[in-house]
Amino acid sequence: MNDQTSSIQFFRQIFGGAWVTQAIFASAELGIADLLASGPLGINELAERTGTNSSALYRLLRALASAGVFAEDLDGRFTLTPLAALLRSDADSSQRAFSIMMGAEFYQTWGELLYSVQSGSPGFNKRYGMPFFQYMLEHSERHALYDEAMNGVHGAETEPMLDAYDFSAFRTVVDVGGGNGQALCTLLNRHPAIQGTLFDLPGVAERARQFILHSPAAPRCEIRKGDFFAAVPAGADAYVLRHVIHDWQDEQAEVILQNCREAMHSQSRILVVEHVIPQGNAPSFGKWLDLMMLLVGGQERSEEEYRRLFSQAGLKLMRVIPTTAEVSILEGMRL
């Protein structure tokens, strides 16, 4: 294969990624992996259970099987593969909700990338007529799906975060924008002396309550409702913001950090958990995630950009602590 042929194959493979994304989305929306959880099924039964055209569904699953998502056996029945098993709703670190979100709202938004690059404005707003988080608030079923999707994506980061940073010196921790509470409960289960507070918008906090009530950490976990653009609970030893700051441009991110600073005492620490964009041309998932954030009005940042943002909010970035996941912990304190 000559260099030109190899280059053409590269572009075909890259462009085909969009097709695979939509195929996975379709199978996730139809719940194919859940239907196959108890064993192989033929295409006619799958089509009947999903209300689809059997010929078209076969073509979908045949294509996915060629990518290792599902497999067709010698009897023409489809089965789960390790990849397909992650599309089950009940799988540990399930990717079903994330697959649906990536194939629905976010996929449509990627079609506005050129607009975002030309204008600097969020493509999501153009496509859906409102900012991303307003859309989530007005579509509660999508917000719940988004929370589930983020858990599937970021859940694997929790243990590496706790391994990389010693929380044992703290007695009180506030998880700002803590989502469903899983990360905070994992932290509290590892450190029985810590009292935790989950702080999020009312609708999110109510959904988190159901998860927290079933956790051994529930007696040590308070749920507080509010808006981090207004204020956050005061007086804690540590404030954790995981994948919060990257949702916003500098002006809004600075307000969030300033409100945390106002709530902190002189020895408090702020712990921002995010991708930190490396310098140079090396491959980085964060660089691609940054384009996703461009589309929804947020931004991934380099260490220097975080250092400047912290300073503008009256905080000092003390150190950047890598983890075995793709995120780092940016530790700060009051100036």
What pLDDT is recorded for position 151? 73
What pLDDT is recorded for position 171? 98
* pLDDT, tens digit (0-9, with 9 covering 90-100), for 200-254: 999 889 888 988 999 999 999 999 999 999 999 999 999 999 999 999 999 999 9
The residues that are catalytic are: 246
Q: In percent, how much of the chain has pLDDT > 70?
A: 99
What pLDDT is recorded for position 146? 82
Which ranges of the chain have pLDDT less than 70?
Answer: 1-2
What pLDDT is recorded for position 16? 84
Number of structural domains the chain divides into: 2
What pLDDT is recorded for position 272? 98
The answer to whether residue 82 sits within a structural domain is: yes
Same domain flag for 47 and 158: no
The answer to whether residue 215 sits within a structural domain is: yes
- Domain edge (last residue) among 64, 89, 114: 89
Q: Which distant-in-sequence residues (6+ apart) come within 8 Å of 300 by Cβ?
A: 246, 274, 275, 277, 286, 287, 289, 290, 293
The answer to whether residue 65 sits within a structural domain is: yes
- Domain edge (last residue) among 89, 114, 144: 89
The answer to whether residue 291 sits within a structural domain is: no
CATH code at position 321: 3.40.50.150
The answer to whether residue 126 sits within a structural domain is: no
* pLDDT, tens digit (0-9, with 9 covering 90-100), for 131-163: 998 998 888 888 888 878 877 777 789 999 999
Same domain flag for 184 and 329: yes
What pLDDT is recorded for position 9? 82
Handedness of CA 134, 138, 140, 145 (dihedral sign): negative
Range of the domain at 223: 152-278+298-334
DSSP E strands in the chain: the ranges are: 41-42, 71-72, 77-79, 172-176, 195-200, 221-225, 238-242, 269-274, 276-277, 301-302, 315-322, 328-334
The answer to whether residue 168 sits within a structural domain is: yes
